[in-house]
Amino acid sequence: MAKWIVRDNWNATERDREQLLDYLSMHQITPHPSSFLQEVVGSAGDNWVDAWRYLSYAVQAYPSHPSVQRKLKKLTKEKRDIQNDVLQHRQNRIDWRGALLEFKALYALTRSFGYQFEGFDGKAPSASGEQDCDLVLRCERKKTQFAYADARAWCYDLRTQVPGRFPGSHSYNPLPKADPVNTYSRLEDGVPTDMEKVGRWLEDQLEDVRAKGADILVCDLPEWQWEDLDPGYLRAYCDEILPGKLQWQSDGPVWGDSVPVTTVEKIVVVRRIGCWSIALKNSKAG
């Protein structure tokens, strides 16, 4: 497996969900009956496993950390009263996905990249604004050095603008063209012509977190059809969303001179099956 790709082989079990429930009970964290958290923890089996597995990891890995408790309490709130309102229903999903992504970021950065978790919501020294970064971490190799990460969920509204897709679709199907010379030379049917919108969205996030002074941008991106974290396949995907902007080195992709001015040094993309990263060249703080 390439260094820039980390496969996730943890399969959460019903016991993990029970430990999450025990934690909530112990700390008197009671979800509102209509909250997403109640929907998640109240569902046995595989229905919500991709959600509660990250929450369960947090409470098992950091059972005494006060910021984990505070963050979980924020998920107990009642959903907005949607009353068949499509926009409010969508906003509910956006809020939930954004909150859950912070736990996914915690999982990926500590389990896959070796950072030590210091807490949620902290202000970076290089911040030029008042907003906190989502996660504060301690670097694996330099224990005295901190890193600040911000988590950004792929824009739900933008997904609805992709031609030929059902509104709200979260899946692309970039099937590689059958080419005996280079299987990954092109992406075939299923990739929208405006796939570069994903890259432009990434650029917007890099500029947006600049004021926060974040070192790491963690995000989810539209799914690609995969059986495995194949480096060639992911390279084709990256080149499709950031055409001509990546330099491919032995240890993975580097976003070169065209990268926006930002404090971010690395982008980490998280998915259920694992995560992968893009290094940023010449990133700078303002």
What does the pLDDT look like over 3-46, one tens digit per residue?
Answer: 898 888 887 888 888 899 999 999 999 888 878 788 777 765 55
- Picking from 121, 142, 11, the residue whose alpha carbon sits closest to that of residue 66 is 121
Average pLDDT score over residue span 190-217: 79
Domain range summary for the chain, segments of one domain joined by +:
5-280
Q: What is the dihedral of CA 70, 76, 82, 86, to 10 degrees?
A: 60
Q: Which residue has the tokens 């890193």?
A: 147
pLDDT at 225: 54
> Hey, what amino acid is at 267?
I
pLDDT at 219: 92
pLDDT at 80: 61
Distance, in Å, from the CA atom of 115 to the CA atom of 209, rounded to the nearest integer, reads 20
Distance, in Å, from the CA atom of 224 to the CA atom of 226, rounded to the nearest integer, reads 6
Name the 3-class secondary structure at 139: coil
Q: What are phi and psi of 253, to 5 degrees?
A: -75, 145
pLDDT at 64: 94
10 Å CB burial of residue 64 (0-12, 13-18, 19+) is exposed
Per-residue pLDDT for 192 more than 70? no
Just give the CATH number of 5-280. Answer: 3.40.1350.120
pLDDT at 176: 41
Q: pLDDT (tens digit, 9 = 90+) per residue, 214-265?
A: 999 999 887 655 556 788 888 888 888 888 899 999 889 999 877 777 789 9
Return the bridge partners of 258, or none: none
pLDDT at 217: 95
DSSP string, 156-184: HHHHTTSTTS-TT--B---PBP--SS-TT
13-17, 181-185, 277-281: least confidently modelled range: 181-185
Write the CA distances from 197 to 118, 201, 230, 243, 260, integer angstroms. 34, 6, 23, 11, 15
pLDDT at 185: 33
What is the chain's mean pLDDT, rounded? 77
Quick check: 31 and 41 in contact, CB under 8 A? Answer: yes
